[in-house]
Amino acid sequence: MLRRNLYDTETHREILARIAKLGPDTRPSWGVMTPGQMCAHCAEVLEVSEGKALVGTPWFVRAFRGLIKRLVLSDRPYPRGSRTHPQYVAPAGVEFEPQRDRLVVAVNAMFVAGREGAGRSVHPLFGRMSAEEKGWAAYKHLDHHLRQFGV
């Protein structure tokens, strides 16, 4: 599998173009999230990777953080319907446009920080990550959910 990286200009542009194709009525191919919930979920994941606190981590997640990190960084796609951290679950009824805008801001903030800024924050669950790990993890997660919505 080609390891795309959100720090690469071409990949950054592609992700933004795919996000722009989303609409409030875009239907998922699997799962139950709305487009607004998916954008909120993805934005939250990126914000945490950039230094936002992660609260309420269940004990079993902390116990298996090494395994979870290996799965996140592996070349294997995420399984459909994977469980997520409670903080990453977006509430029902979130509005699409503000959450899409929030996601675009989060994607751009990570890109602007660049590879040089990747080490400034330590992931609260996975610890220090290299720029290649962080950029790949961000791309892989976004790609998973954008595919979920057919964009």
100 in any annotated domain: yes
CA–CA separation, 29 and 1 (whole Å): 22
CA–CA separation, 85 and 62 (whole Å): 11
Q: What is the pLDDT of residue 81?
A: 86
CA–CA separation, 4 and 12 (whole Å): 10
Q: What is the pLDDT of residue 105?
A: 98
CA dihedral 83, 86, 87, 89 (to 10 degrees): 60
| Digitized pLDDT (tens) for each residue of the chain, 151 residues in all | 579 999 999 999 999 999 999 999 999 999 999 999 999 999 999 999 999 999 999 999 999 999 999 999 999 999 998 889 999 999 999 999 999 999 999 999 999 999 998 888 899 999 999 999 999 999 999 999 999 999 9
Q: What is the pLDDT of residue 101?
A: 98
Q: What is the pLDDT of residue 8?
A: 97
Give the count of domains, the chain.
1
1 in any annotated domain: no
Radius of gyration of the chain (CA): 14
118 in any annotated domain: yes
18 in any annotated domain: yes
The reported pTM is 0.95
135 in any annotated domain: yes
Helices (runs of H) and strands (runs of E) counted in the chain: 6, 0
CA–CA separation, 78 and 114 (whole Å): 25
3 in any annotated domain: no
Q: Which domain holds residue 13?
A: 9-23+32-148
2 in any annotated domain: no
Q: How many C-beta atoms surround the C-beta of residue 41 within 10 A?
A: 22
Q: What backbone phi and psi angles, to 5 degrees, belong to 33?
A: -70, 150
4 in any annotated domain: no
